[in-house]
Amino acid sequence: MAKKKKPVIEMDAERAKMMAMYEETLREFNEGAIVKGTVVEIRSQEVLVNIGYKSEGVLQASEFKDLSEVQIGDEVDVLLVRLEDENGMVVLSKSRAEQQQNWDNVLVSCEEGAIVTGLVKGKVKGGLLVDVGVDAFLPGSQIDVVPVRNLDEFLGQSLECKVIKINKERRNIVLSRRDLIEEMRRGQKKKLLAEIQPGQSRMGVVKNITDFGAFVDLNGMDGLLHITDMSWGRINHPSEVVQVGQQLEVYVLDVNQEKERISLGLKQKLQNPWEEIEMKYPKGTRIRGKVVNLVPYGAFIQLEEGVEGLVHVSEISWTKRVARASDVLNVGDEVEAVVLSVNKEEQKISLGIRQTEANPWDDVLGKYPIGSRVKGKVRNFTNYGAFIELEEGVDGMIHVSDMSWVRKINHPSEVLKKGEEVEAIVLEVSPENQRISLGLKQAQEDPWTGISNRYRIGQLIKGKISKLASFGAFVELEEGVDGLVHISQISDDHVGKIRDVLQPGQDVEARVIKIDPIDRRIGLSIKAAKLSEDEFQVDDSMLEGLRPGEDLVDLAGAFDAALSSSEEWSPGASREEPKSEG
């Protein structure tokens, strides 16, 4: 019997119902939605999951922590990434579903200001990535209260942080560990200020270093360890003693509760090396130390940690003329020295390097007795004399008054040259003052010795005019011996100006009218040369211009007067006095 067909109206209604159910199914599967699925097949690189759609979805095997633990029939929450790929398969993600669920959970349980604990997953630009259920960002500046130089040391650590910002649209969470540390430190600071007292010893960590000291974290607040309180010895920079991050036991020097400042010391934990300094380094002790600093006036020598002595430039050498310590010493040199004095109160030790050698001045009396003839080289000039180097470190001085028998010397350069070798006579020796006086003229024959045997009153002599002065003319009788013809003894006629009748270099004849060996004076008369032996007789009129005590008769003074007016009376001469040389 033929099968009875359904009415057309009934078939249309059933078809409409099925279409409605199909459309309803499609509406439930929206991309980006989280749906439940059932594992239907496990492959090596992927897992097939049925989510009730027309085709199975695919999960990558890497989305499971351990694929061996996955069983067919397991239910999993997945995120619908795409309804169909190029192969008609549904694309799913288990990890993204978990992240979405975690984010939703975080938003429910977490808000700005909340405290969360997360695991540091890795480094990102500018900070760390922390897993607090979702990935959150911990900026490098918010990791600690001190700058963090190595982020790697936080990898894998579980950190407690404060949520400081949540961006729901971008799904970003920003954390701060520093805020929690600062809050904790505020409590620790209050407690520390209530307990800390001068004289206590405290453990701390070097937080920062400056040119003037270091700041030490005392677990609540920072204290200042000044550079002067780091060591009893010399320190050029705090980094020579402490390093950032170093743990130290420090001594509390002062606490200012009002300004909340703590002063710390490090050297106070050690014995002051100056306490028994006089016993350790008595006067005369020979020591060995290192040059640690050079200044224009000397060198500082380190005897031990915290103890330095000063060698003044004058105590470096007996023989060398040291202008600056740096001329003969260098920082780091090992030197021997002798303790000259110790001042415990001012923490000063005076040292001498030259005292480690024999003083050449100790032997000068034996080597250079008074009256002995010595040779030396002209080393230097002063306005009043010349220094003659007798040996290295031993100089003698020739005063200008001991340079010539016959003329007054205004400057040693008139008769000596630097580097010239000269002979002299030792006149005086003073080892304690390191002084030897020498005479240049004493090493030469005095032309005035025996002058009375070579010249007599009334003797007729011939000579050349050597100098002219306003009061007369000088006649050279022999080398080193001049006689003076006073203007009144030139001619019987009145002479207004000497240059009108006499000229330098002119030959003249005159008679000796006065001889004074003691004052080294010889008076001459050109007028008397015209008289015969019988007619010649010395009278007061001849000696009128040669009175004792007058400058005109003192040949040294007369020579000076002649020189001072030589521009007028002697052509080619100069009034300019010699310049002194150092």
CB 458 within 8 A of CB 512: yes
Parallel/antiparallel/unpaired status of strands 481-486 and 460-469: unpaired
Q: Which fold has domain 277-356?
A: OB fold (Dihydrolipoamide Acetyltransferase, E2P) (2.40.50)
Q: Which residues pair with 91 in a beta bridge?
A: 58, 82
Nearest 5°: phi and psi at 118? -140, 165
Tokens standing for residue 456: 């007599």
CB 407 within 8 A of CB 448: no
Cα(474)–Cα(468) distance, rounded to whole angstroms? Answer: 6
CATH superfamily of 196-269: Nucleic acid-binding proteins (2.40.50.140)
Nearest 5°: phi and psi at 431? -60, -40
Q: Helix (H, G, I), strand (E, B), or coil: what is residue 182?
A: helix
> Over the range 119-148, which residues count as b (16 or more CB within 10 Å of their CB) and which as e?
ebeeeeeebbbbebbbbbbbbbebbebbeb
CB 324 within 8 A of CB 336: no
Cα(115)–Cα(161) distance, rounded to whole angstroms? Answer: 6
Q: Which fold has domain 110-180?
A: OB fold (Dihydrolipoamide Acetyltransferase, E2P) (2.40.50)
Cα(459)–Cα(468) distance, rounded to whole angstroms? Answer: 23
CB 356 within 8 A of CB 338: yes
Tens digit of pLDDT for each residue in 116-129?
888 999 999 989 99
Reference 438, options 367, 386, 379; nearest CA is 386
Instruction: Report the greatest alpha carbon distance in the chain.
Output: 211
Cα(331)–Cα(302) distance, rounded to whole angstroms? Answer: 11
Parallel/antiparallel/unpaired status of strands 348-352 and 307-312: parallel
Report the amino acid identity of residue 390: L
The angle subtended at Cα 559 by Cα 553 and Cα 564, nearest 5°, is 120
Tokens standing for residue 344: 């415990």
Report the amino acid identity of residue 503: Q
Tokens standing for residue 113: 């200001």
Contacts of 532 (CB under 8 A, 6+ apart): none
CB 427 within 8 A of CB 402: yes
Alpha-carbon distances, residue 493 vs 425, 487, 489, 502, 536 (angstroms):
49, 11, 10, 14, 18
Q: Helix (H, G, I), strand (E, B), or coil: what is residue 272?
A: coil
Tokens standing for residue 472: 């007369």
For the chain, residues classed under CATH 2.40.50.140 are: 26-98, 110-180, 196-269, 277-356, 360-443, 451-569
Question: 360-443 sits in which CATH class?
Answer: mainly beta
CATH superfamily of 26-98: Nucleic acid-binding proteins (2.40.50.140)
Question: 451-569 sits in which CATH class?
Answer: mainly beta
Contacts of 456 (CB under 8 A, 6+ apart): 512, 515
> Over the range 422-435, which residues count as b (16 or more CB within 10 Å of their CB) and which as e?
bebbbbebeeeeee
Write down the H helix ranges in 375-502.
451-454
The angle subtended at Cα 371 by Cα 370 and Cα 373, nearest 5°, is 115
**In this structure, what DSSP letter does residue 575 have?**
-
CA-based radius of gyration for the chain: 56
Ordered per-residue pLDDT tens for the chain, 582 residues: 444 555 555 556 655 655 554 555 544 677 768 888 888 888 888 888 888 877 788 888 888 888 888 888 888 888 887 877 777 778 888 877 877 777 777 776 677 788 888 899 999 998 999 988 788 899 999 998 878 888 899 999 999 999 888 887 777 889 999 988 888 888 888 888 888 899 889 999 998 899 999 999 888 788 999 998 888 877 889 998 899 989 999 999 999 988 889 999 988 887 888 888 889 899 999 999 999 999 989 999 999 888 999 999 999 988 777 889 999 999 999 999 999 999 988 889 999 999 998 888 888 888 999 999 999 999 999 999 999 999 887 899 999 999 988 777 889 999 999 999 999 999 999 988 889 999 998 888 888 778 888 899 989 999 999 889 888 999 988 877 889 999 989 888 888 888 988 999 999 999 999 988 877 889 999 988 888 888 888 877 677 666 654 444 444 444 444 444 443 333 333 333 333 333
